[in-house]
Every structure is written in C-alpha cells, then in structure tokens.
Amino acid sequence: MKNIGDVSIVLPSYNERENIAEAIERMSKVMGQRLKEIIIVDDNSPDGTWKLVEELNHPKVRLIRRMNEKGLASALADGIDAAQGSIVVWLDCDLGLSPEEIPHLVRQLDVHDIAIASRYVKGGKDPRPFFRVFLSWMINGFSIFFLGPGIRDYTSGFAAVRKSVFDKVHFSRRGFGEYFIEFAYKAKKKGFKIVEIPCAYNIRPGGISKSDGDLGTLLKLGKDYGFKVLNLRFGRLP
C-alpha cells in the first residue's frame, strides 16, 4: 500500500461481543503499520462488548463508551471527530463486510477523496434474502433518480475518506443509514472525487444485521431513507 497517510478505523458497536475481538484482529492484521488506531464507539452494550474491548487491551484500540446517547449516525460522528489519522474508514463490526477490503478502499485515495465499497458496481454482490436485496435496490434506484448519477450504492455504510473532507462536508448525527445518503450526496455536490469499488456483503456470523430485522423495521427504514432523499433534493441543505 502506497504511503498516503495513517488510517483510523471507526467501528460503531452495540451487542457485538461475539464479533468484536475477531474484527479487531483481522483489521489489525490487514492494515499492519498503516493502522493508526481502531476507535470502538460502544453504546454501553448490555452484552458487555465495551468490557471485552477493555480486557483485550489492544495497543491500537481506543474505546468510547457512550452512556447517554445511542444511534449509528451519532456513534460514527463521535468516532470521526476523535480520529487522529489522515484517513478515516468506517464499517460495521459484525463482519457482514469484510475487513480485508479496507486496503483496497484506502489505496483508491491515492487519486480520490472518498472510496465507497459498493454492492452495485460490476463485481459487487449481495447474497441476503431476496426481499431485503430488492428493498435495497429500490432505495438506491430512488436515490439515483432524485439525487443524480455518480453513486450507485447510497446505502453502503463502508467507506474510506480523507479526514480533510469532513472540514467541508457536514456529517449528520441523526437516524440510521440515512447519514450515508446525505454524506455521499453532499460530498458529490461539493465536487470531491468519489470512486466505488466492488464489495460483497456477507451473511452476518451468529445473527442478522440490525438493519435486517422484521418486515416492519425494513419498511420503516425504507420510508426514512426515502424522506431523506426527498429532503436533500427539494429541501434546504444545512
């Protein structure tokens, strides 16, 4: 990997005790000396994820244990604010997305500002149940229709970004996956160079993703994402 800066990896966590140690180990191994830090932002997990992270005592792991706030977007925002590397990578720590893809994303920042791991460019895959994949297709198609071309996977949630980008692009603390739609769209509007590289979503070890719950949860997320897209397109951007 070309020397383009140290990397901070931000991992939001809630009840990830079964996966967190493996996630840290794999990320540390694949990044080697390039790794500046792994920031675990844990929302006081009842299963003791935060306690296990403390017990691991990994030299490059920083734990932010949040007692009074919960939520994916705000956890990522806190991790990004705390990051000391010149490059920030974030992804879920449930291993649904492979840590081994991180170097491929980071390498793209030789010539780009943002690299998105995409299921919807050539070579990308999403083997989840049909209805879940169909809903994701619909959300992304809706996003592309209203927000324009240039990004295929507006709900990726796995990206590498030059830290300097956040000086000009607001990172929302609200909602669940809506933050990624908003961040990607605003970055595109600001003229930052964005590239998507193919990735494969894996079936989560030991369970399902928090976004892959019952039908009611999926439909609510779809509605929230749709309103976010319409607000970005027709509302006022902060």
- Confidence check: pLDDT of 79 > 90: yes
Judge whether 109 and 10 are in contact, CB under 8 Å. no
The pLDDT tens digits for 91-139 are 999 898 999 999 999 999 999 999 999 999 999 988 878 878 888 899 9
| pLDDT at residue 46 in the model | 96
Q: Which residues of 48-74 are buried (b: 16+ CB within 10 A; e: fewer)?
A: ebbebbeeeebeebbbbbbeeeebbbb
Helix intervals (H) in the chain: 20-31, 49-56, 72-82, 102-107, 130-147, 178-189, 215-234
- Give 236's DSSP letter: -
